[in-house]
Structures are given as C-alpha cells and as structure tokens.
Amino acid sequence: MSDKHLSDVNTLRERARQHVENGAVTEGYNADREQVLRLLNESLATELVCVLRYKRHYFMANGLKASVAADEFLEHATQEAEHADKLAERIVQLGGEPEFNPDLLSKHSHAQYVAGNTLKEMVYEDLVAERIAIDSYREIIQYIGDKDPTTRRLFEEILAQEEEHADDMADILNDL
C-alpha cells in the first residue's frame, strides 16, 4: 500500500503552525477557495429565494384553505432556512462573507421566485425550483470531488432533502 498521500507527523505539525489566522482553512486545503465560496454564496441565494417563495405559498394556500399543501410549504420554508444557515456558516469557516443583500439574491440564485396565483401554479413552480436546486447541487458535488470533503458532505445532505422536497411537490401536484 502506498503512503505517498500521507504526510508525516512533523510535516502536519509544521503546516498547522503556518497561517494560523486562516482558521479552518489549512495549507492542505485543495479546492479553489474563491470558486467554492462563489458556489456557496449562489447556493445561499438559492435557499433564501426558496424560503421567500415557500413563505408566500404557505400564506396564500392557507387563504385557499388548502391545508395539506400549506403544511408542506411551511415545512419546506423552515428547512430551506436551515440549509441557508448551514451554507452561511460554511462560508464563514472558509474565510468568506455570506451575502444577504436582498438586491443581489435573485441575481445570484439559481432557482427563481415565481409567485404563482393558483395552488397548482404554486406547487408546479416549487417543483421546478427544487429540480433546479437538485441539478445545481449535484453538479457542485461533482465539481468539489474530494478536494473539500466537508463542503461536499454539506451539499450532499442538502441535496438529499431537496430530492424529498421535489418528491413531496410531485405527490401534491398529482392529486390536484
């Protein structure tokens, strides 16, 4: 078995003392940090736009007395907000700044904010947005590869939940 990728303990100890001000970002960080930060911020924008869209759909569906859909919209809004928090936390760990400027959110977001008038339109647009997020997160995971395992794992966890969201919306759409 080759050990050429394993650093000896002295090298590890020496490297850890270099650029201590970079916190969690060590000399062995293999990814393009600027690029990873850009992808994290675009994903943060995507999640925040999804929170807003699901919130609107929750309140509108409540007005339409569509309680099953409303419950799902609210649950999704809460989970998208959790995704946003985790992405923002990772951005800071990597020495970046999470972008929360509302003027920039819809420009950076991959998924769109579509208000939707009828319940069917709302569910349809949510399904489309989830499908955009799924494809975009899958590509990001492939791009990161084994260069930044923590960020990749975060995207894998989020992706799994987006797939559940898409499935939920597809089920509701079928019943409408």
The 130-169 site mask, x for binding Fe ion (CB under 5 A), equals x-------------------------------x--x----
Query: Residue 83 Cβ, how far from Fe ion at the closest point, in Å?
Result: 4
The count of other CB atoms within 10 Å of the CB of residue 40 is 26
Report the residue from 42, 72, 80, 126 that binds Fe ion according to the rule CB under 5 A.
80
Output the smallest distance, CB 157 to Fe ion, in A: 10
Which 44-63 positions form the footprint of Fe ion (CB under 5 A)? 47
| Contact between 176 and 119 (Cβ < 8 Å) | yes
Q: Is 83 in the site for Fe ion (CB under 5 A)?
A: yes
What are the CB-based long-range contacts (under 8 Å, 24+) for 99-102?
99/41, 99/44, 99/45, 100/44, 100/48
Q: Which stretch binds Fe ion (CB under 5 A): 10-18, 27-35, 76-84, 138-146?
A: 76-84
Q: What angle do CA 45, 46, 47 make, to 5 degrees?
A: 90
| Cα–Cα dist 121/118, whole Å | 5
- Where along the sequence are the contacts to Fe ion (CB under 5 A)? 47, 80, 83, 130, 162, 165
